[in-house]
Chains A and B, each alone.
Chain A
Amino acid sequence: MENNFIIQTEKLTKRFPMGKGEFTALKGIDLGLGTGEFTGLVGPSGSGKTTLLNIIGSLDTPSEGKVIVLDHSIGSLTAKEAARLRKEQLGFIFQSYNLLAVHTVYENVEFPLLLLGFPAGERRKMVMDALEWVGLTDKVKQKPPQLSGGECQRVAIARAMVKKPSIVIADEPTANLDAANSHNILQTMVRLNSELKTTFLFATHDEKVISYLKRKIYLLDGKVDKDEIVSN
């Protein structure tokens, strides 16, 4: 695979054991994503979006085929290597935010930097920068249960972005948010995408999200149905 793709899949198949047999969730996916894309996997429920994101995010492994993320072959990474890839290069945003409830906003955003072993002074600056990107510098001492859904998701974005990862993976990031908050979040991500050149990969069936995407990969029943680049 010689090209500029930072994410590439080739004949990616994923099967899950189900009862006595198997269920094939992904049926030979061929994809390539370049640096700085703002791309979404779009499709109905059960089409395999989350499954594909999880494999690209090295949280799961393919049953067959190749998946290369930042020159790492996902299928053949050890648990340690996969963890390292996630720690250093990938950021995750979840539908239900998945913040650490007993930690403050500051500590939540600081977390990935602690894992990476940044010194305290540097951490502080990076956390405050990230909180500024999402407009939450006044909430550093609050804890997630005291925040609104929109604020929680902004903390999650700050947490995903604080280490300036190469790729941010966001699975239904707006599903729990109202329209205003959804647009706010998406505008933030569009801005970070253009300022930091971070690659964004979404899974969504939310029209609001879809309207911001620069590339839409339609999944249907575990296959790529349509791959559409938005010209503007």
Chain B
Amino acid sequence: MKLAIKLAFRNLIGAGLRTWLNVIVLSFSFVLIIAAKGILVGWDRQAKRDMTSWEIGGGQYWNENYDPYDAFTLIDAHAPVPSEFSPEIEAGDMVPVLITQGTIYPEGRMQSILIKGISPEQTLLELPTYKLDTLPGSIPAIIGSNMANANKLEAGDYVTIRWRDANGTFDAAEICITGIFTTNVPTVDVAQVWLPLESLQSMLLMPGEATVLTFRDREINRIGVAGWKLMSYEALVSDVEEMIRTKSVGQSVFYTILLLLALLAIFDTQVLSIFRRQKEIGTYVALGYTRREVVGLFTVEGAMHAVLAAVVGAIYGIPLLYWLSKTGISLGTSSADYGFAIADTMYPVYSGSLVVGTTLVVLLATTVVSYWPSRRIAKMNPTEALRGKIQ
């Protein structure tokens, strides 16, 4: 094997330009696969990190009637916070949020929104709820920058909101925007306002009630509580994972084509080699190789394209990928369009397993396309190969 590698290396380098063309194309697919996958990994991490810190913590309990995709269920999706959670809430490890549907009237227009109540003292989520801890004469409220832009609201603005209380009676009040925050998580930003929990509870006539309970610790084994549905962290991020999976399929179509092109070029080189190098094949046999060993030699030679491609790819790929991971990649989309937590700039993450895995896949694929045509050698008659007469 060592000898085969040595010989294959000599032959491959000896073949000159053709080798380098193959190697460069293969290295492109190499670097592209790692870059593309790295972006998705980075995206996945960033989305989960942002969701964790802004919205879902280590998981949530949902009121059994709560369905985030159906705003009309909010009428019934509230219940008193179970008393067994009191210690956790007091320790700051659980945050109750009350949610209802309402309407906002910025500059005489009107827009349907969600009104969410959250404790101003909480620190579990990154929401700047401490800005709710003021007395501006109206109800203090914080909103995300997306919401602010969409409704031309600024900090210090007063605006009217309307809602229905527990009895179904409409009521309205003025809120004061005391803070505007910027987040990548649209589900805490788009079309919603955050008020102090106690204010919202009294507005709705639902003292001590909540819709969602977000907790900090992902690891604790939690049990079900009557009337509340346990939503594990995994379940809450499954949408992100689903989207990443979809993206990854779309991506792989692209780089699989590039990889196939590179493999085709190598396949072609192998087929050509076997026709053009018959005398050489015969010579190897005369010098004491079995035909199987010659098949092995040609396969190693073809597969070595992948090794060289890894080296060449590393030469320009490592600086390039490093630079990308530092400066990030702008995808030119906003998180609000996606409805997912997407940062404006993505920082790709390249794990060791990604690099090693990609290398192995490319090496394996290259070995297969190298071996495939080489099998013919095993059927060659060495005396005819020596004369170079096989058609």
Contact of B13 with A102 in the complex, beta carbons under 8 Å: yes
Q: Which of B10, B11, B287 contacts A86 (CB 8 A)?
A: B287
Knowing A102-B11, A102-B14, A115-B3 are in contact, say whether A59-B382 is a contact too (CB < 8 A).
yes
B74-102 residues with Cβ-Cβ distance < 8 A to A are: none
Tell me the nearest residue of chain B to A156, going by C-beta: B283
Tell me the complex Cα distance, A99–B141, Å: 85
Check B383 against A83 for contact (C-beta < 8 Å). no
B329-346 vs A, CB cutoff 8 Å, 1 = contact: the mask equals 000000000000000000
Given known A-B contacts A102-B14, A114-B3, A96 and B279 have beta carbons under 8 A apart: yes
Q: Once the chains bind, are B286 and A80 in contact (CB under 8 Å)?
A: no
Contact flag A100-B283 (CB < 8 Å), given A54-B383, A114-B3, A115-B3: yes
A115 pairs with B288, CB closer than 8 A: yes
Interface of A is mostly: helix
* Complex: chain B residue closest to A99, CB-CB: B283
* B117 on the A face (CB < 8 A): no
Find chain B residues with CB under 8 A from A112 CB. 287-288
Residue of B nearest to A111 (CB): B287
CB-contacts of A30-51 with B (<8 A): 50
B218 in contact (CB, < 8 A): no
Q: A184: CB under 8 A from chain B?
A: no
Q: Is the CB of A101 within 8 A of B14?
A: yes
Within the complex, the shortest CB–CB distance from B70 to chain A, in Å, comes to 71
Interface string of A73-96 (1 = CB under 8 A from B): 000000110111011100010101
B residues within 8 A CB of A103?
A: 10, 14
Identify which of A83, A100, A114 gathers the most chain B CB atoms within 10 Å of its CB: A83
Cβ-based interface call for B15 (8 A): yes
For residue B174, CB closer than 8 A to chain A, the reply is no
Set B10, B288, B381: member contacting A102, Cβ < 8 A: B10
Contacts of A59 in B (CB 8 A): 285-286, 382-383, 386
Docked pose: A115 CA to B4 CA in angstroms: 10
In the complex, A96→B389 CA distance in Å? Answer: 14
User: Contacts A94-B386, A102-B13, A103-B10 given: A83-B288 contact, CB under 8 Å?
Assistant: yes
Q: Is A64 an interface residue (CB 8 A)?
A: no
Interface residues on A, range: 20 to 34
B99 to chain A, nearest CB (A): 73
Interface residue A60 (Cβ < 8 Å from any Cβ of B): yes
B379 smallest CB distance to A (angstroms): 12
Task: Please tell me if B282 contacts chain A, counting CB pairs below 8 Å.
Answer: yes
Q: In whole angstroms, what is the CA distance A103 to B6 when docked?
A: 11
Interface residue A194 (Cβ < 8 Å from any Cβ of B): no
Q: Does chain B have a CB within 8 A of A57?
A: yes
The distance in angstroms between the C-alpha atoms of A111 and B289, with both chains bound, is 11
**Does residue B293 face the partner (Cβ distance < 8 Å to A)?**
yes
**Contact status A83-B290, CB under 8 Å:** yes
Number of A-B contacts (CB under 8 A): 65
Q: Give the interface centre of B283, B285, B287, B382 by most chain A CB atoms within 10 Å.
A: B287
Residues on the A chain within 8 Å of B13, using CB:
102
With a cutoff of 8 Å between Cβ atoms, the chain A residues found around residue B280 in the complex are 98, 100
List which B273-304 residues lie within 8 A (CB) of chain A. 279-280, 282-283, 285-293
Q: Provide the residues of chain B in CB contact with A96, threshold 8 Å.
A: 279
Chain B minimum-CB-distance residue to A116: B288
Of the residues A88, A92, A101, A114, contact of B286 by C-beta under 8 Å: A92
A115 and B289 form a contact (CB under 8 A): yes
Q: In this assembly, does A107 line the interface, its C-beta being within 8 Å of a C-beta of chain B?
A: yes
Q: How far is the CB of B386 from chain A (nearest CB, A)?
A: 7
Contact with B along A113-133 (1 / 0, CB 8 A): 011000000000000000000
Q: Which residue in chain A gives the minimum CB-CB distance to B15?
A: A102
User: In the assembly, what is the distance between CA of A80 and CA of B334, in Å?
Assistant: 66
Instruction: Find out whether the CB atom of B285 lies under 8 angstroms from the CB atom of A83.
Output: yes
In whole angstroms, what is the CA distance A45 to B289 when docked? 29
Asked if residues B290 and A98 are in contact (CB atoms below 8 Å), the reply is: no
Which of chain B's residues has its CB closest to A88's CB?
A: B288
A100 to B291, CA, bound (A): 17
Cβ of A102 to closest chain B Cβ, rounded Å: 2
Residues of chain B lying within 8 A (CB to CB) of residue A60: 381-383
Chain A residues with CB under 8 Å of B289's CB are 83, 87, 115
Find chain A residues with CB under 8 A from B285 CB: 59, 83, 86
Whole-angstrom CA separation of A112 from B3 in the bound complex: 11
Q: Residue-by-residue, is B367-389 near A (CB-CB < 8 Å gives 1, otherwise 0)?
A: 00000000000000111001000
Give the distance in Å from the alpha carbon of A80 to the alpha carbon of B292 in the complex. 9
Interface string of A139-176 (1 = CB under 8 A from B): 00000000000000000000100000000000000000
For residue B295, give the distance in angstroms from its CB to the closest CB of chain A. Answer: 12
Which residues of the other chain, A, contact B7 by a CB distance below 8 angstroms? Answer: 114
Of the candidates B282, B291, B381, which one forms a contact with A98 in the assembled complex, judged by CB atoms under 8 Å apart? B282
Which residue among A50, A60, A79 has the maximum number of chain B CB atoms within 10 Å of its CB?
A79
Q: Which of B5-33 contact A (CB under 8 A)?
A: 6-7, 10-11, 13-15
List 7 A–B pairs whose Cβ atoms lie within 8 Å, in order of A's numbering.
Answer: A57-B286, A59-B286, A60-B382, A87-B289, A101-B14, A102-B13, A102-B14
